Amino acid sequence: MVENGMAGLGDKIVIVTGASGGLGAACAEAFAAAQCRVALAARDAQKLRASAERIARKGGQALAVACDVTRRDEVIRLGAAVRAAWGDAQVLVNCAGIARAARFTEMADELWDRTLETNLTGAYNCCQVFLPAMIESCWGRIINIASTAAKVGYPHVAAYTSSKHGLLGLTRALALETARLGVTVNAICPGYVDDERTRENARLMAEKTGKTTQEILRLFAASAPQNRLIAPAEVAALAVFLAAEKLGAMTGQAINVDGGAVMV
């Protein structure tokens, strides 16, 4: 594992949701590399175990707990499992999310409901369960993985954009409520990330437009001045940085990692 470095996070207890792949798995690996004890949560138990095993093979401490964040009872069980293994979580990374494209007039109500439940209510459930212990100990970090869609609108992703705008609002409200309690709450706003979710959306868009998946991925990349997709490790590195002991004055912020695509 890499050295703990400036983060000062050695032995902290971290929960990462959506950790079965993509950004969530990258965040879990980054915190484990910073010598944290990392609980990985996601619905897909098989993929989740694979993510935890990758961390363990590198010498990290990882605990895999299957959990649907849209269900408060399952989030409570996640907290109990982490507490039984290590104690109360000190860092929460809300990374669980879904993103499906659909023209608004053609969007099924189920897509709207599922997107809001996962991307916004899921984070709400986790904050409700894990924030009290952070307040009690006078130290905590909540990092919400939002999106540039939390700051600007995009066509054909009304549900996703609405959920991420809501997540940013939750971030700012919690930051104010916890400002004097030793807890920081921040958001990371990635652009198009080079992961399976982006590739799947590119494939679906290709089917609808007659273009190839690679052509769609190039269009995604071209939306950023750097003309590239964002590596999951770049987002994960920022998450570790935001959790650092020395960054206690940074709260209520929404930081873009998007190759310069959105400058607000």
d(Cα 5, Cα 220) in Å, to the nearest integer? Answer: 34
Q: Give residue for tokens 């100990």.
A: 137
The answer to whether 197 touches 22, Cβ cutoff 8 Å, is yes
Tokens of 160: 């996703």
- Which one-letter amino acid corresponds to residue 86? W
CA distances from 218 to 4, 95, 148, 152, 212 (A): 36, 25, 18, 21, 10
Question: Which residue in the list 124, 154, 160, 192 is annotated as catalytic?
Answer: 160
Judge whether 160 counts as a catalytic residue. Answer: yes
Residue 131's Cβ-count burial label (10 Å; 0-12, 13-18, 19+) is buried
The answer to whether 226 touches 260, Cβ cutoff 8 Å, is yes
Could you tell me if residue 134 is left (phi over 0), alpha (psi between -120 and 50 degrees) or otherwise beta?
Answer: alpha
Question: Which residues are part of the catalytic machinery?
Answer: 160
